[in-house]
Amino acid sequence: MEPIVGIDLGTTNSEVAFIIDGNAQILKGLSSSIGDKSDKGILPSCVGIDDDGKIIVGTEARNQAAVHPDRTVLSVKRLMGTDQQIKMKDSAYLPQEISAFILKALKEQAQVALGKPVSKAVITVPAYFTDAQRHATRAAGEIAGLNVLRIINEPTAAALAYESESSETQRILIYDLGGGTFDVSIVKIEEGVVEVLSSTGDNLLGGDDFDQRIADRLVEHIDKESKINVSGQPVAMARLKRAAEDAKKILSSEPYAKIEEDHIGKRVWKDVHLSYELSRLEFEGMIEDELERTMDSVNKALKDAALLPSAVDKIILVGGSTRIPRISKMLEEKFGRMPHSEIDPDLCVALGAAIQAGREMGLDSTSILLDITPYTFGTSALGELDGAPCMTRFVPLIRRNTKLPTSKSEAFYTLYENQEMVEIKVCQGENPNALDNIQIGKYKFRLTPRSPEGSIILLNFDLDLNGILKIEAVEKATGRKINAVIENAFSKLTEEEMADSKKRISDMWGEEPQMEEEMEDLEEEMPPDLADALTKAESQLDSASSEDRDEMINLMEDIRDAVKAGDIEKARELLKELEEILFYLG
């Protein structure tokens, strides 16, 4: 059966997981070229171009971010759903193209770990992601050569990771604070059925902001001590942000963190060095307002689910930033119980995505997943607002917290005789005035000539399981479906643009490692002694240091390439180098 993997496409880090022997497991990469240097299988969501003009993803890209901010992209998830062009060296990319590089790396990571081609995935997104952001995520998958079977909300995935097998009814609050997004959701799990009761959050709040606050403090400190302002210097700022993040992490387990950055600037002819001691207390003070904001969302989620804090059975922490001790304390004060973080908060979402992917493969049909829309979708029409006529009255069609998939229709009327056109605006939000909501689409419908005043136009909104909205309008009198002209499709690409994007990204990525059939052919040509040595080396990869591991992987790839090119002599020479490393490993 073709594998379907679960992917957590995070702001800071991404992971890919799969069900192996009935358990969700993170797939660790073996190839250094994809930049996964972490033992946990975490791939930093960073994309860059190296000195040779080659695309790099993961740790390698992250490591160059401080020195080459101009050709490295961090936190692209925050730009998903926008048309913003992201500059990397001499070219510009769309957010979904940058994300596609990350997905390509994860795809390779999965292929290497499973030894099979991988072309299908379930991808998670923050519950708060808009329609445009979900579209962009799906497009990123397609550009990367992945068929995205389903997009599920991150908190739902986390709940699945914790409770997919529980038979008791439980109400679980998931507090997910990552690098760039915050989500809080309440789900009910009953006999394996997951139902999202409420979901809210802020897709512009996360650990990156905390790093920025520390970095700002450091800039102030440097200015005060040395009378230079480094805020306009990208390299210095990237270094400060990196140092800030390191300090923040230290403060999760220690009360003080020392920040030292030599040669951070120059004043006249003298080098300026930074030395600053940050206390946990000072750090907590800096981010108190942001943490308060997350608690406001917690209260909103409780209110939406019509639950008192005492009715919540369990609180789950998800996302790297929940390691900040103040967060557990705040939640404990509110709920009178300690939150859970037994499943690694960094991996929880990917593991849940793998459980859902397993279900898509038919591995477990006992549980189903109910999801909701965190937004109200509607249109704008003539109506009343505060007792006065309003041309832009918001008319909700699909209400917030409706279970997905859902389909809703509403009738609208033409305003005058011979009306030639109706303009249908599609908005998402909760405000009674459509102008205050987010407009996600604008469609123009040309009407049949000489229609009377009050002709009926039926508008249908269809929101699928992935939160993707389809709109259809029908002229009731004629039954004619009206062709929609999308005037501002935001970041949705046309098929042609998609194909161009896919080709461009693939060309830049280069060849993917060959899988299955090709691998088998290769094995046949491989002389037995070389094949044995490669198998032995593979089995020792886990016990090697990350440096040795990288070198071993490179040598193994080179040996395979040499055999493929028919150069057995070169392969044997390379084997000697590999055997030397194996000898030292014992």
Instruction: Report in angstroms how near the CB of residue 127 gets to ligand AMP at its nearest.
Output: 14
- Report 303-362 residues binding ligand AMP (CB under 6 A): 319-321, 323-324, 346
Q: Does 399 bind ligand AMP (CB under 6 A)?
A: no
Assess whether 15 carries a catalytic annotation: no
Q: Which of 3, 6, 10, 467 binds ligand AMP (CB under 6 A)?
A: 10
> SS3 string of 439-458?
EEEEEEEECCCCCCCCCEEE
**Which element (helix H / strand E) includes 562?**
helix 546-564
Identified catalytic residue from 176, 183, 304, 475? 176
* Tokens encoding 154: 């991150």
Nearest Cα neighbor of 27 from 121, 19, 35 is 19
| Position closest to ligand AMP via CB | 207
Nearest Cα neighbor of 369 from 91, 98, 153 is 153
Q: Does 179 bind ligand AMP (CB under 6 A)?
A: yes
Helix locations, 144-260, DSSP H: 154-163, 207-226, 234-251
Q: Does 44 bind ligand AMP (CB under 6 A)?
A: no
Q: Does 150 bind ligand AMP (CB under 6 A)?
A: no
Residue 25 C-alpha from the chain's centroid: 19
Output 289 or 569, the one with its CB closest to ligand AMP: 289
Output 12 or 31, the one with its CB closest to ligand AMP: 12
* Tokens encoding 29: 């990469």
- Report 229-248 residues binding ligand AMP (CB under 6 A): 245, 248
> SS3 string of 272-312?
EEEEEEEEHHHHHHHHHHHHHHHHHHHHHHHHHCCCCHHHC
Output 63 or 437, the one with its CB closest to ligand AMP: 63
CA angle centred on 205, ends 46 and 68, rounded to 5° = 30
CA dist 580 to 546, 556, 559, Å?
16, 13, 14
Residues in the interface with ligand AMP (CB under 6 A) total: 19
Beta bridge partners of 384: 389
Output 212 or 460, the one with its CB closest to ligand AMP: 212
Q: Does 212 bind ligand AMP (CB under 6 A)?
A: no
Output 99 or 437, the one with its CB closest to ligand AMP: 99
Contact 515, 116 (CB under 8 A): yes
Q: Which of 12, 33, 294, 419 binds ligand AMP (CB under 6 A)?
A: 12
Assess whether 154 carries a catalytic annotation: yes
Q: Does 137 bind ligand AMP (CB under 6 A)?
A: no
Nearest Cα neighbor of 471 from 480, 459, 487, 481 is 459
What x/- string results for residues 252 through 291 when contact with ligand AMP is judged by CB under 6 A? x---------------------------------------
Output 208 or 475, the one with its CB closest to ligand AMP: 208
Residues contacting 562, CB < 8 A, separation 6+? 568, 570, 571, 574
> SS3 string of 32-44?
HHHCCCCCCCCEE
Q: Which of 208, 261, 371, 475 binds ligand AMP (CB under 6 A)?
A: 208
Q: Which stretch binds ligand AMP (CB under 6 A): 123-131, 204-212, 366-374, 450-458?
A: 204-212
Instruction: Report in angstroms how near the CB of residue 328 gets to ligand AMP at its nearest.
Output: 12
Residues contacting 560, CB < 8 A, separation 6+? 522, 526, 534
Q: Does 155 bind ligand AMP (CB under 6 A)?
A: no
Backbone angles phi, psi at 194, to 5 degrees: -100, 125
Output 10 or 352, the one with its CB closest to ligand AMP: 10
Q: Which of 29, 201, 207, 339 binds ligand AMP (CB under 6 A)?
A: 207
Instruction: Report in angstroms how near the CB of residue 352 gets to ligand AMP at its nearest.
Output: 13
Residue pointed to by tokens 């220690």: 254
Q: Does 15 bind ligand AMP (CB under 6 A)?
A: no
> SS3 string of 358-406?
HHHCCCCCCCCEEEECCCCEEEEEEEEECCEEEEEEEEEEECCCCEECE
Q: Which of 242, 249, 399, 564 binds ligand AMP (CB under 6 A)?
A: 249
The residues that are catalytic are 8, 77, 154, 176
Interface positions with ligand AMP (CB under 6 A): 10-13, 178-179, 206-208, 245, 248-249, 252, 319-321, 323-324, 346
